[in-house]
Structure 1
Amino acid sequence: MKKRLILLLSVLLLVPSIVFAAKDIVIEINGKAIKSEQPAIIDNGRTLVPIRFISKALNYEVEWDDDDREVEIENDDAKKGEVEKVTLKIGEKRAKIEIEDGEDRYIDLEVAPAIRNDRTYVPLRFVSETFGHNVDWNNDTRTVIINTVK
């Protein structure tokens, strides 16, 4: 009887922490909170967001290649030396970066893009910083803060 009571109390103590841990991640761009139809997720300590949502918010174009399961994020306003295009492949921890009038390069990622709920999720910090934006994280409020430089 005593073991059951201890087990029950342990479970009851854990339930609130599980509920509170599910608090949505807030994303701010230049001080303004933006909201996606699908929530951001945390994978291996990295925030992933639906690619169309963040690309639209940062004014980039997105192309999806269903055959290769690749997504391209393009900055049509790239100037010489700036990132023009980023290509990410679902499940791969490597991204291709194309520089306007420069050489392509490859970057290793800490977490691979993924498909969740029929949406392509990409690492938010990587995409934002690759295009030159500043990114910060407020752990107390679970907020990603992006400040654009353009």
Structure 2
Amino acid sequence: MNKRVIKAMAAVVVILMMLSLSAAYAAGELKIFVDDVMLETEVPPVIINGRTMIPVRAVSEAADCEVQWDEEQKKISISAPHRAQPLMYMYLDNPIVNLYVYNAETMETAVDQVEADAAPVLVNGRTMVPLRFIAETMGFEVEWNEAEGAVYLGSGPELTAAGGYDDNTQFPPYAEYTEAYVLEGDPGEYISARTAALILALDILPEKYTDVNSEGKFKITLTGLSDVGGEECYMFTVEGENGDILYYVVSYTQQVTEILG
């Protein structure tokens, strides 16, 4: 799967192209904004064959993702928080990107290979990747403003919904999720019960307990549905090994309310 390109002359040509384009689009000329905040990069973005290339760490960290580099394989892995496996991985000078795709029906994850519009390359010691492909794969909405010489990245639904939690997100070691209530139907565009439970596990419990990892395991149980303040909500019981029993409702629109028992 790892195809190394070791053609010195081709590499030199690519680097010269990038350096010349970098001079044409100096730092500060080609601007990138993430949710209207200008993104600072150690290496200026460049345009190659009409494709905007950006340091992989810059766009990944803007989505709260982490990047790992395997020097031996020239492999780049991009991971999101609380994921059991990377979002994707790719190889230097190879346009094939390997995406991890979760199947909710089989509860299994498979690798899907797709071809990006440009291969990752090195410039000034930094790995540059095609901005639009990587950003859209992460969940950003991408808009190019030619008049301003700027690219605007907006946090799309996959990034903004429930802090980016989805069916690939794993529960932390201190939380166990069960369902004592059988749900009927699909919440549609709203969050699922599992995602609502993730909000409790990853957002609420760490706020409630200073060191949640030392408190033992919490059992988060879906107990039903309820209408609270005109909003449909999931009902949960959170039971800790320390004896605490907490009650929460999480609305389809991610509003969390603690209910006194």
Q: TM-score scaled to structure 2, two decimals? A: 0.46
In the TM superposition, residue 77 of structure 1 has moved relative to its aligned partner by 4.4
Q: Quote the Cα distance in structure 2 between the aligned partners of 1:21 and 1:120.
A: 20
Matched, 1:108 2:115: yes
Decide whether aligned partners of structure 1 residues 49 and 146 sit closer, same or farther in structure 2, where only a CA change above 3 A counts. Answer: same
Aligned to 1:87: 89
Contact between 2:93 and 2:120, CA under 8 Å: does it hold in 1? Answer: yes
Contact between 1:84 and 1:99, CA under 8 Å: does it hold in 2? Answer: no
Letter in 2 for 1:138: N
Contact between 1:76 and 1:84, CA under 8 Å: does it hold in 2? Answer: no
Please say which structure displays the higher CA radius of gyration: 2
Q: Quote the Cα distance in structure 2 between the aligned partners of 1:54 and 1:140.
A: 22
In the TM superposition, residue 143 of structure 1 has moved relative to its aligned partner by 0.8
- Structure 1 unaligned regions, length at least 5: 1-17
Q: Quote the Cα distance in structure 2 between the aligned partners of 1:94 and 1:68.
A: 14
- Structure 2 unaligned regions, length at least 5: 1-20, 103-107, 161-261
Contact between 2:77 and 2:86, CA under 8 Å: does it hold in 1? Answer: no
Query: Which is worse superposed, 139-148 or 21-30?
Result: 21-30
Decide whether aligned partners of structure 1 residues 75 and 53 sit closer, same or farther in structure 2, where only a CA change above 3 A counts. Answer: same
Q: For 2:119, what is the secondary structure of its paired residue? A: coil
Contact between 2:64 and 2:81, CA under 8 Å: does it hold in 1? Answer: no
Bigger relative contact order, structure 1 or 2 (CA pairs below 8 A, ≥6 apart): 1
Q: Quote the Cα distance in structure 2 between the aligned partners of 1:31 and 1:90.
A: 30
Q: For 1:55, what is the secondary structure of its paired residue? A: helix
In the TM superposition, residue 36 of structure 1 has moved relative to its aligned partner by 0.8
Runs of 4+ in 1 over 4 A off after TM superposition: none
Q: Spell out the pairing of 1:43-54 with structure 2 (5 A cutoff).
A: 43-54=48-59
Contact between 2:117 and 2:133, CA under 8 Å: does it hold in 1? Answer: no
Contact between 1:48 and 1:122, CA under 8 Å: does it hold in 2? Answer: yes
Q: Quote the Cα distance in structure 1 between the aligned partners of 2:38 and 2:131.
A: 15
Q: For 1:102, what is the secondary structure of its paired residue? A: strand
Contact between 1:137 and 1:143, CA under 8 Å: does it hold in 2? Answer: yes
Q: Quote the Cα distance in structure 1 between the aligned partners of 2:25 and 2:71.
A: 31
User: Number of residue pairs matched?
Assistant: 129
Matched, 1:27 2:32: yes
Q: Quote the Cα distance in structure 2 between the aligned partners of 1:41 and 1:22.
A: 6
Letter in 2 for 1:74: S
Once the two structures are superposed, what CA deviation does each residue of 1:66-97 show, in whole Å capped at 9, x if it has no partner?
01101111112459xxx951112110111000
Query: Which is worse superposed, 134-143 or 68-77?
Result: 68-77
Matched, 1:38 2:54: no
